[in-house]
Amino acid sequence: MAATIAAVGGALVAPILTPNAKALLLAVALIYAGVAALWQRKAPARLAGWKLGALGTSAVGGGILALGDRTAFVTFALAARGPSPSLAATGAIVGALVLAAIAIASGERGWTRLPLRAISIVAGGLLLATGLVIGVGALRLT
C-alpha cells in the first residue's frame, strides 16, 4: 500500500520537475537510504502484548513500520524520475515480498543468524555511492 501511494505521489509530482530536479530527488532519496542503512539501530519492539488478534496486530504493526520507511521515499523518487510509476511500485512490492518470504522461510533464529550488519554496510555503501554519482550528475558537476 505504501509503495502504491508513493508511486502515485511521484507520478503526480513528475510533470512539474525538471530532469535535473528529478535526478536530484532520486539522489537525495538514495543517499538518505544509504545513511539509514549504515545507522546502527535497535530491534523493533515485540508486538506480543497487543490484543488485536493475529490479523489486527499484523495490519497495525505493518502500517507503523511502513510510516517513514526509506523504501517509500526511494519509490516516490523512482516513480517521479522513471518512465512508468507502476514499475517503481511493482519493484518495491516484489522486493518487500522477497524479503518477507526469506524471513518467513528462515524463521526468527535463521534470520538473526544472518550477518545483517555486514549486509547493511554493503547495501548502505552501494546506495550512498549510487546517490552521490546521480547527485553529481544532477548538479552538472561532471
- Angle CA 117–122–123, to nearest 5: 95
The per-residue pLDDT for 63 is 67
With a cut of 90, say whether residue 104 has pLDDT above it: no
pLDDT digits (tens, 9 = 90+) for 42-75: 666 666 666 777 777 777 766 666 655 788 899 9
On average, the pLDDT of the chain sits at 86
Number of domains in the chain: 1
Q: What is the mean pLDDT of residues 123-135?
A: 96
Compute the distance between CA of residue 94 and CA of residue 43 in angstroms, rounded to an integer.
Answer: 24
Top mean-pLDDT range of 63-67, 100-104, 133-137: 133-137
The per-residue pLDDT for 103 is 81
The per-residue pLDDT for 30 is 96
The per-residue pLDDT for 110 is 85
Sequential DSSP letters for 66-128? HTT-HHHHHHHHHHHHSS-HHHHHHHHHHHHHHHHHHHHHHHHHHHHHS-HHHHHHHHHHHHH
Contact at 8 Å (CB) between 70 and 36? yes
The per-residue pLDDT for 53 is 75
Compute the distance between CA of residue 130 and CA of residue 125 in angstroms, rounded to an integer.
Answer: 9
Q: What residue numbers bound the domain in which 31 lies?
A: 2-138
Q: What percent of the chain has pLDDT over 90?
A: 53
